[in-house]
Structure 1
Amino acid sequence: ALSKLVGCDESQVVFTSGGTEAANLALLGAFRRVRTREPERTIVACPGTEHPAVLDSIERCRESGAEVIRLAVDSRGVLELTTFERLLEARGHSMALCSVMWANNETGVIQPIERIGSLCREHGVLFHTDAVQWIGRERCDLSELPVDLLTCSAHKLHGPKGAGALVLRKGVTIEPRALGGPQERERRGGTENVAAIAGFGRACELASDWLDSGRRETAASLRDRFETSVLELHPGAVVNGGGAPRIWNTVNIGFPGLQAQLLVVVFSERGLAVSGGAACASGSLEVSGVLGAMEVDHETASGSLRFSLARDTTDADIDAALEIIADVLGSF
């Protein structure tokens, strides 16, 4: 079911314990394999808007001799393609790997991965995309994309926690990180979590059905209505990444002068779940690294919240959320 959802053969899929492990395996496994075959390729590049699973994996590549380059993004959070092209022209022959997430987990901003992947391919650079936020929410046909390594997670498409996957382009090989068994075609040792993988498969089937139903457009219209209404409720608010193409389920709004951590608590007490950054770091008091990379001013970043929709979100849910938001913002 996953292979059908992403457009690949079953042999290209490596099941993991989640998106984090998949990113670790993709980046560390691919970099070490490239270094063995082409030792002159030492550069690993990514923007600062990536998920920590990618950022930390790339930092770990330094231990194997990597030179890490942070790619520039514009104020919307979109990769600066002209700067990237210049980097490839100058140093592409020394680059092993580039990683750019398909849709951002905090802002929903969509990167032009077809163009990025094509540029990487022209210079013999492996291209990884973190597609955790994309798969199951938008269509994907890996057979038509210049992507060498793609990672995704079950629980982001209503599947169980504890399952993820790395999908490899045919011909791409990696150095395994979990040793001690021939599982996953000798790419990831250890007995597979069969129950979680089965749940992952069923979630993929349901996601495919949903994408085929045409309800994605309805979900996008709900996001737009929610966003417009919040901006009307609080005229000083701004949509972070608002000028860029964005995935339908994620809205990141800055409320300058307000504190995100306080708003998270107040909204939670009223029954509205929001976060001040990535969901997995919602307890952190630090300003989002994603917004920092976008050079969002500190006052706006400190008051920024992420609101997320699901494919079963209804008009009534949006109305209820807006009622809570209006009440809370009116008290400040």
Structure 2
Amino acid sequence: MSVIYLDNNATTKVHPEVFQAMEPYLRDEFGNPSTGYDLGKRSNEAINKAREQVSSFLNANEEEIVFTSCGTESDNAAIYSALNAKTEKRHIVTTSVEHSAVILFAKSMMPNIEITELGVNSDGVIDLNELENAIRKDTALVTIMWANNETGICQPIHEAAKIVQAKNTLFHTDAVNAAGKINIDTNKSPIDFLSISGHKFHAPKGIGALFVRSGSPFSPFLIGGGQENGKRAGTEAVAQIVGLGKAAELAQQRISSNGTEKLASLRDRLEKNIFKKIEGAHHNGCQKRRLPNTSHLSFENVDAGDLLILTNEKGLCIASGSACSTGKREPSRIMKAMGYDDERAMSSVRLSVSSMNTEKEIDEASEIIVSCVKKIRSLRPKDAGPVIFAS
């Protein structure tokens, strides 16, 4: 059975050109980039090229790019740096829909930090007036996710960054799910720190980057050797860095060639097929402020857990809008933050396409979703709990 993959906000398939670029550094070009002989020098040159590719991707300077292991490390490093910059400032402003890498790090590593979480409306968007009023004299950092990984809703990052700059406060954005889908230009906004992760746009897992604007304070999160110009210790993962660079180059090419519009076309085709055949289907969040690849939908009288079981059996990979753990299912905290009730939250799924999906896959996926929704509804009494299919 072939697999149709529509969970590209979770991770993406490594692009063939990315794999091809990485392969030599997994075989014969294995030199340590810190060594002085030619084998090591070639690895160092490969890292320099990747840094150039990533900086071009973000319209940044090469010295502003720090390679990390993932988006989580990038988020952690940005928060750590901001809090170390002025130790008398112990207040952070963030939102109620951030990735846990932001909030949990601040709470667990620095328990004396006060955190203000901005709410969002039913569209999933913050209030800029509330942001401005939340920033205090002791605010060390404002950190706001560019695009939510679950709903795809984009925050007004440019406007937020300007408000924060006017308050003489540092600004960080987690752009992990935005990168590769929409254009990101660090010269257009006064952003101090910006996080990305390669596996979200067809690079391998285990590699990310942190943009640190020139002049913004930075404290190394990992201490040891002088790698990454003294900003991150540890022997560089050359193959992964090369992969990130190539993926950034390809993403930049796609975006400049109407790639964003092509993603939106696939997403819209998927939604049109579904809404044409299913009553009681709803969008969650603002349709005009979402990523071009992301569709977050809820289906009346359908439990998302049941839907995922059935679609998986038919070879379709999608994601639930609810967090699942062993023996326990809870409504998505993102949906709850947007003001939706438990029933709406538990009936929600995320469909996220990529440039590697085809129209044929989109049409087949929509047929699978339609048939599975109809099957669940036929077996589930109205307002009842999940059917719980055996997988």
TM-score bucket of the superposed structures, by smaller chain: over 0.9
Q: Which amino acid in structure 1 is aligned with residue 95 of structure 2? A: P
Report the Cα distance in structure 1 between the residues aligned to 2:335 and 2:80, rounded to whole angstroms. 26
Distance 1:210 1:184, change over 3 A: same
**Residue 138 of structure 2 corresponds to residue 94 of structure 1:** yes
Report the Cα distance in structure 2 between the residues aligned to 1:127 and 1:147, rounded to whole angstroms. 6
**Residue 178 of structure 2 corresponds to residue 134 of structure 1:** yes
Match of 1:78 among 111, 122, 125: 125
Report the Cα distance in structure 2 between the residues aligned to 1:184 and 1:173, rounded to whole angstroms. 15
How many residues in Structure 1 have an aligned counterpart in Structure 2? Answer: 322
The two structures have a TM-score, normalised by structure 2, of 0.79
Q: Could you list the per-position Cα deviations for residues 40-83 of structure 1 after superposition, in whole angstroms to 9, with x for gaps in the alignment?
A: x22111111111111212323543x3111111111111011122
Match of 1:186 in 2: 230
Preserved CA contact (<8 Å) 1:260 1:276: yes
Offset at 1:243? 4.2
Identity %: 37
Structure 2 SS opposite 1:77: coil
Offset at 1:21? 0.9
Q: Which amino acid in structure 2 is aligned with residue 15 of structure 1? A: F
Report the Cα distance in structure 1 between the residues aligned to 2:231 and 2:180, rounded to whole angstroms. 24
Match of 2:66 in 1: 14
**Residue 99 of structure 2 corresponds to residue 47 of structure 1:** no
**Residue 171 of structure 2 corresponds to residue 123 of structure 1:** no
Q: Which moved more, 1:265-274 or 1:287-296?
A: 287-296
Report the Cα distance in structure 1 between the residues aligned to 2:59 and 2:268, rounded to whole angstroms. 29
Offset at 1:330? 1.5
Match of 2:207 in 1: 163
Q: Could you list the per-position Cα deviations for residues 82-112 of structure 1 after superposition, in whole angstroms to 9, with x for gaps in the alignment?
A: 2222223xxx212110111111111110110
Structure 1 SS opposite 2:116: strand
Match of 1:60 in 2: 108
Offset at 1:244? 4.3
Structure 2 SS opposite 1:151: strand
Report the Cα distance in structure 2 between the residues aligned to 1:55 and 1:252, rounded to whole angstroms. 23
Q: Which amino acid in structure 2 is aligned with residue 260 of structure 1? A: A
Preserved CA contact (<8 Å) 1:219 1:313: no
Match of 2:334 in 1: 290
Match of 2:350 among 306, 315, 319: 306
Report the Cα distance in structure 2 between the residues aligned to 1:27 and 1:116, rounded to whole angstroms. 17
Q: Could you list the per-position Cα deviations for residues 27-52 of structure 1 after superposition, in whole angstroms to 9, with x for gaps in the alignment?
A: 122212232xxx1x221111111111
Match of 1:32 in 2: 84
Offset at 1:225? 2.3
Structure 2 SS opposite 1:93: coil
Alignment of 1:252-291 (within 5 A): 252-277=296-321, 285-291=329-335
Preserved CA contact (<8 Å) 1:18 1:162: yes
Structure 1 SS opposite 2:350: strand
Preserved CA contact (<8 Å) 2:158 2:188: no
Q: Which amino acid in structure 1 is aligned with residue 354 of structure 2? A: A
Instruction: Structure 1: give runs of 5+ residues left out of the alignment.
Output: none
Q: Which amino acid in structure 1 is aligned with residue 54 of structure 2? A: L
Q: CA RMSD in A?
A: 1.6
**Residue 46 of structure 2 corresponds to residue 23 of structure 1:** no
Pick the structure with greater CA Rg. 2
Preserved CA contact (<8 Å) 1:98 1:120: yes
Report the Cα distance in structure 2 between the residues aligned to 1:234 and 1:283, rounded to whole angstroms. 29
Preserved CA contact (<8 Å) 1:31 1:61: no
Q: Which moved more, 1:209-218 or 1:311-320?
A: 209-218
Q: Which amino acid in structure 2 is aligned with residue 33 of structure 1? A: A
Report the Cα distance in structure 1 between the residues aligned to 2:352 and 2:317, rounded to whole angstroms. 9
Report the Cα distance in structure 2 between the residues aligned to 1:117 and 1:267, rounded to whole angstroms. 41
Q: Which amino acid in structure 2 is aligned with residue 204 of structure 1? A: A
Alignment of 1:173-212 (within 5 A): 173-212=217-256
Offset at 1:156? 0.6
Match of 2:387 in 1: none
Match of 1:320 in 2: 364
Q: Could you list the per-position Cα deviations for residues 3-38 of structure 1 after superposition, in whole angstroms to 9, with x for gaps in the alignment?
A: 000011111111111111111111122212232xxx
